[in-house]
Amino acid sequence: MKRFISLIVLLTLAGTLAACGSPDASEDSSSVTIGYFPNLDHVPAMIAKDQKLYEKNLADGTTVDYVTFADGADFMTALKTGDIDAGLVGPGPAMNNYTNGADVTMIAGGASGGTVVMARNGSGIDSVDDFAGKTFITPRVGCTHDVQFETFMKEQGITSNRIGGEMLHQTGNPAQYEALFATEKVDVAVAPEPWASVLKQNTGAKVIIEPDEISFGTTLPASVLVTSSKLIKENPEMVEGIVNAHKEATEFITENPDQAKEITIDTIDDITGQKLEASIIDGAWENMIFDTALSSEEIQAFGDSSFDLKFLKEQPDFALLTDTQFLE
């Protein structure tokens, strides 16, 4: 919570500076600010920070700062205002903002998997067939996990009350799902890891939909590395350095899983104030695939589903949303 309060202060200060005519972050080639979330699909950013991989891959003397977020909407606001230059975010918020005219480009995949649908112990839910009339929670309306879940449920013939269906939708910070289960305010949580494993171990919640069962679970990155087309055009060397640091972080995770888990536990504790047990991270890690691959076809398919579910007002065209030149 302390970090989130600090974020608000930081964004307020940045906004004040912008109003006074200071250049935004993307115009200062000697500094770069990276954004990410305290979720497992954002581990590459945690590793890159701990191992100083951005400093290694960017021009000598470049100052690297980091800002953390609780949801994609705040992340995208920071990217649009120039308070961050790049970072990891779910594909859902990036697509939603792109269709509204935001300058955002996906330049690499972050991680796939990690979206788990959990039923509260005592909710009376044993399978998807019991979901009608129940309350479910996702981090945000139209976020990646929300689209994954509602796409899957639509195929089962059940939709949310947002579009006139049977399930009641709430939104909230995944780090607080455990408390919401304890007070019985929600029945089903669409939880990004490690928060699904937290629910399972600490509350006895039941896994109803596994990460490889939910729609787009293993074919679409749950997080993507994004920046602006403005930065790509004006400073491609910086963007290349950002992608190279991200690739090195992903390789580090594969080659040093135990060390990567320790860094993850310490980073999440620093951001959220929650010291997760190693057993939780071990379980959550099994639900993740860390890979920089990015498929424009999968991004388009996810966007088409978002439109079908009325998260997007118009049929999207994401041909220019992805740019994988720096991965090649």
The CA distance from 303 to 281, in Å, is 31
The DSSP code for 288 is: E
Q: What structural domains does the chain harbor?
A: 31-114+219-309 (3.40.190.10), 115-209 (3.40.190.10)
Handedness of CA 51, 57, 62, 68 (dihedral sign): negative
Angle between the 91-99 and 72-81 helix axes, to the nearest 10 degrees?
Answer: 50
pTM: 0.81
- Assess contact for 210 and 204: CB atoms under 8 A: no
Fill in the DSSP letter of residue 118: E
Sequence-separated (6 or more) residues with CB below 8 Å from residue 324 = 107, 108, 294, 296
64 touches 32 (CB < 8 A):
yes
What is d(CA 164, CA 142) in angstroms, rounded to the nearest whole number? 16
Q: Closest Cα partner for 172 from 183, 163, 158?
A: 183
Q: What is the pLDDT along the chain (328 residues), one digit of tens a residue?
A: 434 434 433 333 333 333 333 334 444 458 999 999 998 989 999 999 999 999 999 999 999 999 999 888 899 999 999 999 999 999 989 998 999 999 999 999 999 998 999 999 999 999 999 999 999 999 989 888 999 999 999 999 999 999 999 999 999 999 899 999 999 999 999 999 999 999 999 999 999 999 999 999 988 898 999 999 999 999 999 999 999 999 999 999 999 999 999 999 999 999 999 899 999 999 999 999 999 999 999 999 999 999 999 998 889 999 999 999 999 8
Task: Report the distance separating Cα 289 and Cα 144, nearest Å.
Answer: 16
